[in-house]
Amino acid sequence: MTAITVEGSRNFFGRLQVPGDKSISHRALMIAALGRRPCTITGLSNGDDVVRTRRAVEALGAQVEVGESGVVTVTGGVRGARGPIDLGNSGTGIRLLAGLVAGFDFTTTLDGDASIRQRPMDRIIDPLTEMGASIKGSGENGSLAPLTIEGRPLRGIEYTLPVASAQVKSAVLLAALRAEGPTTVHETVPTRTHTEEMLADAGVRLEREACSVTVWPGEVEPPDVEVLGDPSQAAFWVVGACVAPGSHFIVENVYLGPARGGFIEVLGRMGADITVESSTGNIVTRSSELEGTRVTAEELPGCIDEVPILAVAAAAAEGDTVFEGIGELRVKETDRVAAIAEMLAVLGAGCRIDDDMLAITGVGRAEALGSGTVDSRGDHRMAMAAAIAGAVGRGSMTVEGFEATNTSYPSFARNLEHSTVWAP
């Protein structure tokens, strides 16, 4: 396990580009694998999660070429893998691929690391089985990875998501491409819309309403894709610049599409000085005095990946910040509710967990944040959140398990070193 120590009392002054959006990168590779024409993907995330998806579509039969400039060319052709496919730590990869392969006439085994083997897969097994898929999982209830998927003819269904999840929605929509008849997915809370947007761009017949999407089966003609910067990765730098005195920081060329800017709205309510340049995709942030806010269960899906770093903002803010509907955070790469509580204890912020609610009482300013040691628990977002907390607080912060950042942001430590300077 790798640990790093981050010295505190820094500010953030400069600019950078974060890796390509992880969610879009996964989908770009999978949709390209379903087509027949070569298509290019620029800006693809270089995190391990996306590398695993790239290797998975290759194993399934797609041809993938990585150019010297990082441009990836994919020529589709899904024929089946010769052995199990290891998705590592990628929940997006394993869940979406389950939907992609469910309607093909071959058997696929999808597996991952110890964390993936503990994450709930019944949420995709249930709708895909309703469509006619045959999926055998592990564990007492057969709801854990590894998953063995025996491809069968599928039928379109109408399905209401019991839990707000873009991953489950996407798995069903990808399976719908090979089903008989249309498939409709209803949401009670809107989630990110990457899959339906990208399927529409690939020529798939699709109809969208406020909280539902219908897909008809058909061929896929994937276009070339430019992947913009990941807003979830941008959030770490935005929060750092908000809370550290003397900061003025720009994150460039960030994806600013629907259901991905929730963290900006939350920070704006807290008093953050943030300007979003829609023409460039730049997010400009200056030091701010933050106050607590309430994040409702309805809006949490729009910023759920950013809760660890928003917890750092809450810790540095004045007053209480409340996150409602936090149950989904318990089944991420780790139990993020418990991990956040451990980090807050090191920072000296108050923390109260009550069923589905997390309340944080801030210390009022970054300079009052404590320091010590935080265990990432193998969670990339917890590792990066703790590192930012260490950079803006007093003293120094040791982050254990920092290698988890390779999952999504391998250059994070280097960016942190070169994008901050000692505060005046």
Catalytic site positions = 305
Q: How would DSSP label each residue in 96-142?
A: HHHHHHTTSSSEEEEE--TTGGGS--HHHHHHHHHTT-EEEEETTTT
The DSSP call for residue 332 is: S
Phi, psi of 196 (to 5 degrees): -65, -35
Torsion, CA 136, CA 139, CA 143, CA 147, rounded to 10: -40
CA angle 102, 145, 84 (to 5 degrees): 65
Between the alpha carbon of residue 60 and those of residues 29, 48, 147, 393, the distances in Å are 12, 18, 16, 47
Q: Which helix (H) or strand (E) holds 33?
A: helix 22-34
Burial of 13 (0-12, 13-18, 19+ CB in 10 A): middle
Cβ neighbours of residue 323 under 8 Å, at least 6 residues apart?
295, 300, 307, 310, 311, 357, 358, 359, 360
* Residue 195 CB neighbour total at 10 angstroms: 29
How does 60-94 read in b/e, with b if 16+ C-beta sit within 10 Å? bbbebeeeeeeebebbbebeebeeebbbbbbbbbb
Are 289 and 260 in contact by the 8 Å Cβ rule? The answer is no
Q: How would DSSP label each residue in 345-409?
A: HHHT-EEEEETTEEEEE--SSGGG---EEEE-TT-HHHHHHHHHHHHHSSSEEEEETGGGGGGT-
Q: How far apart are CA 140 and CA 298, in angstroms?
A: 32
Tell me the CB-side half-sphere exposure of residue 400, using CA atoms within 13 A. 9
Q: Which helix (H) or strand (E) holds 240?
A: helix 231-243
Record the tokens describing residue 96, joined without a space. Answer: 């979406």
Record the tokens describing residue 332, joined without a space. Answer: 């991420």
